[in-house]
Structure 1
Amino acid sequence: MQPGIPDEEQARTMTLEAFADTIVPGEKRSPDDEAIAGAAVGGGAVAAGAVELLETPATGLAPALGNFARSLNEHARAYASQHGLDLTPSLPPFVALPFPHRTALVGTLTAPGHPEREAWVSVALFSNMAFDTAAHMHTVDAIAAGHPGLAAMGFARPGTDGLWRFPDYSYGRKLASLHPGTTSTGSPA
C-alpha cells in the first residue's frame, strides 16, 4: 500500500461516510476530516451513526457495502472525468469530490429512471433513518449520548426510570372521551 492512500476498508468507510454526509450534512469531526464536507453546523448523518446502522444485519445491506462503495467511487471517477474535475489521488474518488458535486452525483443516482436508483435510495434512507431515529441504538442510550438528530428534533427525554410518560395531551387538549366500554387496561370491551 502506498503511504497516504487508504486501504480498502478505510476507503469503504470514508466513501460511505461521504455519501451519508451528502444526505444529511454535518460539521467536520476535525480540520483534516475528508469524508465530512462540513456543509452544515452540528452533527449530521455520520455523527448520528449512519455507517453503524448500515453495517447492522437488520438493514440487509451490510454484505454489499463494499460493492456500494466501489460502485459509488466508479460513478465519482466518471463524473469527475465528464466535468473536468481533478481528484486528489490519495482519497477515494467520491470523497475527493467537492460537496456540490457530491450532491449532484447523488441526485443523479437517486433520480427516477436511473437503473441503480433503488439501491442508492435504500442507502440514502438508512442515512436519514440514523439521523431521524437512531434506529441502531436504544433511544434512551441515544439521548444520553447526545444523538444529534434526536437533539435537533427536540425529542423528549425519558423520566429517571427510562420510561416516557406524557401527562399533557400532545395537541394541548383532549381529543376525545374514552368509550364507556373501555377497560382499565385501555382495551375495548
Structure 2
Amino acid sequence: MHSDTAADRAVRTLTLEAFADTIVPGAKRSPEDRAVAGAAPGGGAVDAGAVALLETPAAGVVDGLDSLSLLLNQHARDYAARLGTALDPDVPPFVALPFAQRTGLVAELVAPGHPEKDGWVALALFSNMAFDTGAHLHTTEAMAAGHPGLRAMGFAEPDADGLWRFPAYSYRRELARTHPGTTPAGDPS
C-alpha cells in the first residue's frame, strides 16, 4: 500500500529521512529542517539520496515503506512514553525525537532478537548504500553533483570524457596485462 495523500507522503518522507539521518548523520539542510538533526557536519545519508534509493523499484523495498514508516512512528511514540519525552505534534513522532533518542530507538530495533529487525536492518543498509555508493545514480552524475559520500571517501574524479583511468596502479604494479582484444573504450572483445 502506498501513501494516498500529500500529507501521508510528507510524513513518510520525513520519517524515512530522519531514519536515514540517524544511520549516516549530516548537517541540516536549512535552519527549519526537522528530519535531519544536524548531528554531523557535511552531507549525510539524506543528502546522498537515501529516500530516492529506497523508492527505487529495483531496491525491492518500496512496497513496505508505508508500513515501516507507520511502525517506526508507533515505536517512537512508545519509546518517548517510556522515557517521558514530550513529542512535538507538528512533525512525525520519530522526527520529533531528539537525535540521541532516535539512535537509542534504532539500536533497539536492529538488536538481535527484535521481531522486526530485518526490516530495520534493510533500511539501515540502504541508508548506508546511498551514502557509500550513490547506488541510485550514475557515478559520473553523482560526482558532478558533489555526492557527499563519494566526496567523503575521496572517490577519484573521472577523466574529461567521463571514464575513469588509473595511470598509477593501486598496488604499485600492474596486476594483469590488458587483453589484446580490449577496445579503446575498455570493453572486452
TM-score, length of structure 2 as denominator length: 0.90
Equivalent in the alignment of 2:113: 113
Task: Tell me: CA distance 1:108–1:143, structure 2 relative to 1, closer, same or farther (3 Å).
Answer: same
1:1-189 matches, within 5 Å, as 7-171=7-171, 173-174=172-173, 176=175, 183-185=179-181
Q: 1:183 to 1:140 in 2, by over 3 A?
A: closer
After superposition, the Cα gap between the structure-2 partners of 1:7 and 1:168, relative to the gap in structure 1 and judged at 3 Å, is same
Cα RMSD for the two superposed structures: 1.5
Residue identity over aligned pairs, in percent, reads: 63
Separation in structure 2 between the aligned mates of residue 162 and residue 129 of structure 1, nearest angstrom: 22
1:20-56 superposed Cα distances (whole Å, 9 cap, x missing partner): 0000000000001000000000000000000000000
Larger Rg: 1
Change in 2 beyond 3 A, CA 1:160/1:89: same
Give the equivalent residue in structure 2 for 1:3.
none
Unmatched 5+ residue regions in structure 1? 1-5
Q: Secondary structure at the match of 1:140?
A: helix
Q: Deviations over 1:145-189 (max 9, x none)?
A: 000000000101111111111111112x216565xxx85247xxx
Distance 2:63 2:22 in 1: 22
AA aligned to 1:184 is P
Structure 2, unaligned runs of 5 or more: 1-5, 183-189
Q: Distance in 1 between matches of 2:175 and 2:137?
A: 34
Separation in structure 1 between the aligned mates of residue 34 and residue 176 of structure 2, nearest angstrom: 56
Q: Give the aligned residue type for 1:110.
A: V
Count of residue correspondences: 177
Question: TM-score with structure 1 length normalisation?
Answer: 0.90
